[in-house]
Amino acid sequence: MSAEPVLEARGVTLSFGPTPALRGAELAVQRGEILAIMGPSGSGKSTLLHCLAGILTPEGGEVRFAGQRLDTMPEQARSALRRDRFGFVFQFGQLVPELTAVENVALPLLLARTKRAAALAQAREWFGRLGLDGLEGRRSGELSGGQAQRVALARALVTRPDVVFADEPTGALDSLTGEQVMDLLVATAREQGATVVVVTHEPRVAACADREVVVRDGVVRSLVGGGLSS
């Protein structure tokens, strides 16, 4: 792993109205690391992920990606990063219902102006790898929860992103299917050399990571020897 973190939060603060969500959050994620962010509901863990991904802009502190300030970038530049260098997997997949499975996977490539035929060809390559052969033409309503989440996983990885952000990626799945999805995410990320930041409340999901941190009351605490430290 590189000595310089690929992602950093430095003293990040953010409130929603009068309610503080992050209170000086500090976190460094190394390149190629698989990091699990845990914490109870409302602790600020998803807010922290959204700040690291440039979806939310903190009120205070800094967010850095590859040494550059992410929080001060213009929205157009952050959008380009999210399209070209970041991948996203959410709890309910968030597939576009009007598109077929293969079109959903190809969507990030199409948004990056890859020609349609080439984008679909790259997307199809993922179906065999993720056990989805024969499902290319189905729409989200015709897929099981596990199938839909694997399609979402392929969509997140098709651009070979530097970082994959996964927000409760197994939260809507049964335990066995969730383990299969996490195994696929971890194996493919390691193959591509991608960094993964996964928000979860499930210890079995966190166990797939190289390292775990806990967010409580908007502050990041590291797990050390079964206990917590700041």
What are the residue boundaries of the structural domains of the chain, listed by start? 7-229
C-alpha–C-alpha distance, residues 158 and 109, integer Å: 8
Please give the pLDDT value at position 116. 96
SS3 assignment, position 25:
strand
Position 226 scores a pLDDT of 38
Give the pLDDT of residue 227.
Answer: 40
For residues 133 and 130, what is the distance between their CA atoms, to the nearest angstrom?
8
pLDDT at 228: 46
pLDDT in tens, 137-164: 999 889 988 899 889 999 999 999 999 9
Q: Which residue has the higher pLDDT, 9 or 181?
A: 9
pLDDT tens, residue by residue, 40-84 = 888 899 999 999 999 999 999 999 999 899 999 999 999 999 988
> To the nearest whole number, what is the mean pLDDT of the chain?
90
Angle at 198 between CA 203 and CA 218, to 5 degrees: 85
Does residue 179 have a pLDDT over 90?
no
- pLDDT: is 132 or 230 the higher one? 132
216-230 confidence digits (pLDDT tens): 989 998 764 334 444
Architecture field, domain 7-229? 3-Layer(aba) Sandwich (3.40)
Q: In sequence order, what are the residues at sequence separation of 6 or more whose Cβ sits closer than 8 angstroms to the Cβ of residue 187? A: none
What whole-number distance in Å separates Cα of residue 166 and Cα of residue 180?
Answer: 15
Determine the average pLDDT of the residues in 8-13. 96
Q: What is the mean pLDDT of residues 86-95?
A: 84
Cα torsion 201, 145, 136, 107: sign:
negative
Edge-to-edge strands, sheet with 68-69: 19-29, 7-16, 60-65, 68-69
**Residues 164, 36: Cα–Cα separation, whole Å:** 12
